Structure 1
């Protein structure tokens, strides 16, 4: 398998990047951002295959809404799988990409062995977003709230200076809601990441708001690892997933007690062990 490369689909240059050895794990999102989150040690046990979707890819000069429907993005993922010749693999989606990971596995189930979903709420509709805001206001410690207020006050100027990276600026300034250690600066993680805002707005604002992972999992027949951060105020609380193991018996839920939105970064040893042992079929 080629270690890295690109495929042009409809004018979008979608990159792929293969690192490590072992069972293939296909990680959808950005080939620049996501490799920075996973540990070097994990690459000694698993082959991590990072792929872009159209929201984070080099785009044609002009494109229309019909160029970035959910179905097109899922079809892109399948085209990359075919290009790489992947037969059996684990599909992994983090945050909003959990929706893409599960939808892909539903549409193209033949080669997907298992699905790992990390740090996503069941849906991204307005009501759920209000629940997460209320959770932050009620549960976060005063120092965290103060840091958030200081950081978010800078967001408007960030966007005014660089509107094309609005999504990135927002996630950087929302660090106190994202990390257990709320002093972490996420800016280096996002350096050099391309963002196509019409596509990102569509995915997070419309597509993911219309999907419900709980309902999808109830009728899904493959093994699923659901990982959540106890201090993830972006998509929390973890209680949004209460009872999922009874609704979907194939789901194994794991809560990372000292993590926010990125347990692979904040608790790498525990994350690596949890993911690897689940893939290998060991009891967690």
Structure 2
């Protein structure tokens, strides 16, 4: 099971925010890498090899935390999210560290680095979209039409039909997970991969998820290397049908200080699917 990967020397912490708290889990030893998104989900996706080589700090963001009904939706914005990360950074005891984010959490990591450049030594974006939601969906549809096999297409249709036939389950959080699991052909190189165990015990604040997605509806990735000098590593997977690698080629000319690496036979979560390719890449780049 994924939780068996946790090191005996791990420790937990938390910081308060209006209407709730954000937890973080610290594992391993070595240079610090702050992974934002969820202190429950993401530790299950990274290998023991990385946890032996790095001090990995896995931190919640509000939409994957336990929030009370008084959490204000007006706080779901990039400034507040960056402040959340800064609170966690301070609570972790590290003055300056590398920061990583997967999918839209990579966009949040970048926006944190732009607001707190003195706190970020390096930035890692894992299968993150460089453009807004509409453009990402359009590119994903084209990539699916051009590259998805008939087996993958038929399997996605079958899984979605089966999910629709079952109807809603007990909670909105369970519905969120059920949809993600059913859409495995979009997210994973192995189209039948069962992501259910990754979500066990993950608090999902479904009330604020639409507002979180809305932050990126008109998003365009950009930064000024003078104001945000941290080197940026972008990692994509050849079989990511949710955030396709084709998104990146048109953006590269306008993005400074960036290295782009593509991992073969890999979907949306390369750290879990291809650790033998992902881990050396990360460690080598962090040591440069």
With normalisation by structure 2, the TM-score equals 0.90
Q: Deviations over 1:65-106 (max 9, x none)?
A: 223332212111111111122112101010010110000000
Aligned-partner Cα distance in 1 for 2:268–2:212: 19
Return the alpha-carbon distance in structure 2 between the equivalents of residues 202 and 44 of structure 1: 36
1-structure distance, mates of 2:185, 2:169: 22
Q: Which of 134, 145, 169 pairs up with 1:161? A: 169
Cα offset for 1:167?
2.9
Equivalent residue for 1:173? 182
2:194 paired with 1:188: no
Preserved CA contact (<8 Å) 1:74 1:104:
yes
CA contact (8 A) 1:164 1:196 kept: no
CA distance in 2, matches of 1:64, 1:252: 37
1:70–1:207 contact (8 Å) kept in structure 2: yes
Aligned to 2:74: 66
Q: Once the two structures are superposed, what CA deviation does each residue of 1:15-42 show, in whole Å capped at 9, x if it has no partner?
A: 0100011110001101110001000111
- Where in structure 1 are there 5+ consecutive unaligned residues? none
Q: Which stretches in structure 2 are left out of the alignment for 5+ residues?
A: 1-8
Q: C-alpha separation between the residues in 2 aligned to 1:217 and 1:131?
A: 26
1:234–1:261 Cα contact (<8 Å) kept = yes
How many angstroms apart in 2 are the aligned matches of 1:17 and 1:148? Answer: 34
- Provide the residue aligned with 2:132 in structure 1: 124
Match of 2:243 in 1: 235
Alpha carbons of 1:9 and 1:63: their partners in 2 closer, same or farther (altered >3 Å)? closer
Quote the Cα distance in structure 1 between the aligned partners of 2:158 and 2:224.
39
Asked if the contact 2:239–2:268 (Cα under 8 Å) also holds between the matched residues in 1, the reply is yes
Inter-partner Cα distance in structure 2 for 1:249 and 1:61 = 41
Q: Please provide the CA RMSD for this pair.
A: 1.9
1:41-71 deviation digits (Å, cap 9, x = unpaired): 1111111100001101111133332233322
Q: Given that residues 34 and 57 in structure 2 are in contact (C-alpha distance below 8 angstroms), is that contact kept between their aligned partners in structure 1?
A: yes
Instruction: Give the counterpart of 1:275 among 272, 282, 285.
Output: 282
- Structure 2 residue aligned with 1:258: 265
Assess if the C-alpha contact under 8 Å between 2:107 and 2:129 holds in 1: no
Q: Which residue of the partner structure matches residue 32 of structure 1?
A: 40
- Conserved? CA contact 1:29–1:97, under 8 Å: yes
**Structure 1 residues 248 and 126, CA, compared in 2 at 3 Å: closer, same or farther?**
closer
Relative to structure 1, the CA distance from residue 243 to residue 68 in structure 2 (aligned partners, 3 Å threshold; closer, same or farther) is: closer
Name the structure 2 match of 1:11: 19
Contact 2:100 2:125 in 1 (8 A): yes
CA distance in 2, matches of 1:218, 1:139: 35
Matched, 1:202 2:202: no
